[in-house]
Structure 1
């Protein structure tokens, strides 16, 4: 498969969308150093007008702007670990928020040490944000409920420093009416169906119809992000049934030994994890600067798992529009 075919396939999945109810925007997709095409790691999870930033490499606030996303809509920043390429953009992001007039609180969550990092950055730059920042230092297994309704659970990963991955679930969705079943019971679209959707039983022709008779639950989207990690059983567990798994894929498998020594995964490692976890889509992320094209990574991952794309800077992955 040549480069143009790869880009065509990626574009069909990572398409631009101006109105995402739920989706992912890749702000930076490189590993360790930026390249001409890739900035340092950062991901924006967009949900009903709110944004959750996962990792915050240098230039994250600029990438948000280029993607048409306002830093003022960021409700939380989830940091996976304290290596510079994942966290050095955080002080700059908060300063940009202040310059844009932010006053509402911001949640920052990450492993132990993230509070001290921010405190020292503000101390030595002699600047404090004019809005509250609530910092939560998480341990694996701890959970957060965000103002937007998104639910976050941290899990351990296997890197060279203490590091977390995140499983983010959307809240329970309004049940969908099974119209065919409703009509068999004598119901047509209208007020009675509305009452059923609100959880109220209704009476039709002397028969009581309960919500569970005509409603079916809608699946909730689950996005799992590993940050930097070697292949890990904790990722397999956390990613079970995920809609999207964004997995460290720093190297191709010919560099497996170096990848694992440095606390990273190969694209083939990521494909193995995705297959075992049964995810809907695998996104290869954290791409080494040695690769001018992602073709080698995509080719080897697709040998094992067909539903895979390579993240590109500013690409948008709609989950629901």
Structure 2
């Protein structure tokens, strides 16, 4: 899988027999970005066949325990596996203090460079893999962020039919055009834009915990995938909003307004043995909706 998501934990607040606490692995060309890190994330990575040594960054949405208590354990697992490459941990203000105090009281420090970035809405990160991360504000009961992750510009595709009409066949001249160089065929100068087609870049948006918020809609405009808090069904909307969460119907409305290609329902309350009630109400508004399941893989490009 060149690009995709692996759901490490999909429950809300407490683990279930079939659902662990929140965590998502975004896989991109051999690198992994972990989004939220509930207890057991390091074990879920292993069960999913993903090495903690490939994680380049951990993005924390907020400091509620079900989203962050797995972070010290993940760091310790990385160290015990011999990690030496740096790790970036990013999140709202307080994530540095959380790690510092945890390491102080457990009398342990990682043996690899660990960098912490405390983010404000609008801050961006450029990761070593080329992924670009932008933090955006959400509406929860504590300071919290969502993340919009964009892949870098992809190598343009050659429109072979258009190229042949201009007298070009596969070969070195097309390679030069893909590198951005104009070429000459007879008396005609052919520019890259004459035969190249831009490939769309994938955009993954993750809300973490949030009430319905216009900031989510703006961040998710045109996204490939929106992973949205969907803690309850709509008959519990009042309770959901009071606790800083969304319903599946709220998520579907946000996805429809933002023009999202695929909606993923996430952070599902333990009161639901099956996500079917949430899926039914969401699909009435946004048909392209799935419910996240632990260890499920969502390939975006193989």
**Matches of 2:184 and 2:281 in 1, distance apart?**
58
State yes or no: 1:148 paired with 2:122.
no
- Deviating above 3 A after TM superposition, structure 1's stretches of 4 or more consecutive aligned residues are none
Paired position in structure 1 for 2:155:
174
Provide Cα deviations, 1:180-221, integer angstroms capped at 9, x if missing partner: 100000001111000000011111021110001100110000
- Residue in structure 2 matching 1:250, options 231, 249, 252: 231
Partner secondary structure for residue 246 of structure 1: strand
Q: Does 1:81 align with 2:62?
A: yes
TM superposition shift of 1:110: 0.1
Say which SS state the counterpart of residue 285 (structure 2) adopts: coil
The Cα of 1:296 is off from its aligned counterpart by 0.4
State yes or no: 1:112 paired with 2:93: yes
Counterpart of 1:293 in structure 2 is: 274
Matched, 1:71 2:55: no
SS in 2 for 1:269: helix
Q: Which SS does the other structure have where 2:249 is aligned?
A: helix
Matched, 1:302 2:287: no
Aligned to 2:145: 164
Who is 2:247 aligned against?
Answer: 266
User: Pick from 279, 283, 292: which aligns with 2:260?
Assistant: 279
| Residue correspondences, number | 302
Map Cα deviations across residues 99-157 of structure 1 (whole Å, 9 max, x no partner): 00001100000000000000000000000000010000000000000000000000000
1:95 is aligned to 2:71: no
For 1:190 and 1:219, how far apart are their aligned partners in 2?
Answer: 24
Alpha-carbon distance in 1 for matches of 2:190, 2:285: 47
Partner SS state of residue 301, structure 1: helix
Query: Normalization by structure 1: what TM-score?
Result: 0.94
Query: What residue number does 2:8 align with?
Result: 27
Instruction: State the shift of 1:315 in Å.
Output: 0.2
Runs of at least 5 residues in structure 2 that lack an aligned partner in the other structure: none
Match of 1:44 in 2: 25
Inter-partner Cα distance in structure 2 for 1:293 and 1:213: 52
State the partner residue of 1:190.
171
Runs of at least 5 residues in structure 1 that lack an aligned partner in the other structure: 1-19
Any idea what the Cα deviations from partners look like across 1:271-313, whole Å, max 9, x if unmatched? 0000000001000000000000111000000111100000000
Partner Cα separation in structure 1 for residue 208 and residue 113 of structure 2: 26
